[in-house]
Structure 1
């Protein structure tokens, strides 16, 4: 998926989940991203986000997902550069 946009960047897609009231994000990266970022993949980024902001999720090097509260999502938007 991320090869369609910019393979050098990580891709976050998602939106509000009505049933739970959380923000559901799908996160993707390319193999090229892994090569340029010391093999730090989506799973490690999700772990860091959960540690810093809370949330529930997981994945593997190339893809994963996380659910965040609205306040945590707003913090993620402000702190994204330090968390990825």
Structure 2
């Protein structure tokens, strides 16, 4: 059986990076390795919905939350993080 390498996704930015505590903000997540992504999280809460636009871009809707929330993307190659969405 041939071996296929799947890279770990990386996150570069979230735009906008702030929004209301009531959630519902549409954000664009930029990075790499998003093809096949299975989850987007704001802190421990999953995005209300998300669409993988390309290997380098995801559009997600924020859930209800508070404070700074680390954004993570789960994909076939692992979990990426390192950027924050700030609820205000």
TM-score range, shorter chain: 0.3 to 0.5
Higher relative contact order (CA 8 A, sep 6+): 2
State the TM-score, normalizing by the size of structure 2.
0.44
The structure that is strand-richer by fraction is 2
**Rg comparison, structure with higher value:** 2
State the TM-score, normalizing by the size of structure 1.
0.46
